[in-house]
Amino acid sequence: MAARITGAVAPGADLDRHAHALLAVHDAVMSGDTPPSAPRPLVSRSWSRVLEAGLDPSRPADRAPLPREQIEHRRTTSPLTHIVREVLTALTAVADASHFIVVVTDADGVILWRRGSSGVLRGADRLGFRCGARWTEAVVGTNAIGTALAERAPVQLFAAEHFEEGQHPWYCTAMPIHDPRTGALLGVIDVSGPALTMHPAVTALVETTTALAEMRLREHHAESLRRLRRSAEHLVATSSAPMLVVDDDGWVAHGSGVPVRDRIPVPQEGRLIAVPGLGLCLPERLPEGWLVRPPAAAATGLEARLRTVAGSDVLDLVAAGDDRGWSTTLTPRHAQILRVLAGVGASGCSAAHLSRALFEDKEHQVTVRAEVSRLRRVVGGLVTTGPYRIADDVHLVLDPLAGPLSGRR
């Protein structure tokens, strides 16, 4: 279940009085004095990051928007482009929509879409809160979008909880949107408006709409795989050889003669990829995806070795009984994940186990899922999920310099 938004204002609180109290806290902290009460932990962490970065609450940093062509490129390449219209409509089709605006950003905090009351939009323009602007903590200080990105969690801020003085008349409620397949961060949905118009229902509205967005993303992906499967029916019907039909990100639309998988390494023209159950394959381009199949009489078992070369982690894969090979350089984090999975064996492990192994706590499970997803873009079915483990038909060996464990998994 997605994290819930922690409200910035207690139910029934007097908004004007609370805003004045927060201003006293803000002014004391920014001047180095003892505040009359402590800011919320989330706010305190953010203020510390922003002050350490050298931002001044009384002097806004430049936030000139990106050129129009860059905004359009980010829109067309964002997975959110498929569902953003429904998100904006859902959030603005309420009685109180005249009191707020809705923005949707990408994972970099760049505002790509914006809708709402013309009056509130004009106020947002004066803050530089417009399409193409980057609203990260490093640029505009503590704000719901940037702090949600920094904390990887939903954030609501009210009045002087914002770092910049110019943002004090505002409230903001932001919730990250994740790829439902991988857990990767795609962007942020934010609702903002004049602080003294904040309504308790905003929290539930943003949570519900974010859940709707992630459900629509899942449905869109399933439909795209169905289209790919239909477009490749003629190939599937005329061949009895083992094969997979996958999309451009390696997600499997159809498999025959090979155990069903959800994902393989991302196909590239002219580049061998290692697929457990198929061995080394040279992907063949289809109009809407890729056909992945081994050469005739190819072995399907895979030998994998993780080794250290000049300080870098390199993964070599070779099909059993085949002299061809494939190598790639891994990030230190991805190599660390493989070492952990080599140690847990065929039983595999959970996201919580990986979180403890990588970060020494279980609070980074969303990060772990995203990292494993990125790793699987490179190695595909070598790593399986539910639980996380090395695939059955892969023999993984760790070089002595890379770690003490080796063996068949």
Note the pLDDT of residue 61: 84
At 156, which helix (H) or strand (E)?
Answer: strand 155-158
Nearest-angstrom CA–CA distance, 334 and 86 = 36
Is the CB of residue 169 less than 8 Å from the CB of residue 140?
A: no
Res 111: pLDDT: 98
Q: Where does 15-222 sit in CATH, by number?
A: 3.30.450.40
What is the reported pLDDT for 9? 94
Contact 348, 341 (CB under 8 A): yes
Mapped onto helix, strand or coil, the DSSP state of residue 366 is helix
pTM equals 0.74
Strands (E) across 298-372 are located at: 302-309, 312-319, 325-330
What are the backbone dihedrals phi and psi of residue 326, each rounded to the nearest 5 degrees, phi first? -145, 130
| H/E element, 223 | helix 201-231
Q: What stretch(es) of the chain map to CATH 3.30.450.40? A: 15-222
> What is the pLDDT at residue 133?
97
Give the Cα separation of 156 and 182 in Å (integer).
Answer: 25
**Which of 142, 113, 112, 150 lies closest to 50 in space, CA to CA?**
142
Q: What is the pLDDT of residue 406?
A: 32
Q: In this structure, are residues 263 and 214 in contact, taking their beta carbons and an 8 Å threshold?
A: no
Query: Do the beta carbons of residue 104 and residue 84 sit within 8 Å?
Result: yes
**Bridging pattern class, strands 302-309 and 394-398:** parallel
Per-residue pLDDT of the chain (409 residues), as tens digits, is 467 889 999 999 999 999 999 999 999 999 999 999 999 999 999 999 999 999 999 998 888 999 999 999 999 999 999 999 999 988 888 756 678 999 999 999 999 999 988 889 999 999 999 999 999 999 999 999 999 999 999 999 999 999 999 999 999 999 999 998 888 899 999 999 999 999 888 999 999 999 999 999 999 999 999 999 998 887 777 677 888 999 999 999 998 888 767 888 889 887 778 787 787 787 889 988 999 987 654 445 677 889 988 888 988 877 655 555 667 889 999 999 999 999 998 899 999 999 999 999 988 998 999 999 888 878 777 788 889 998 877 888 887 654 433 333 3
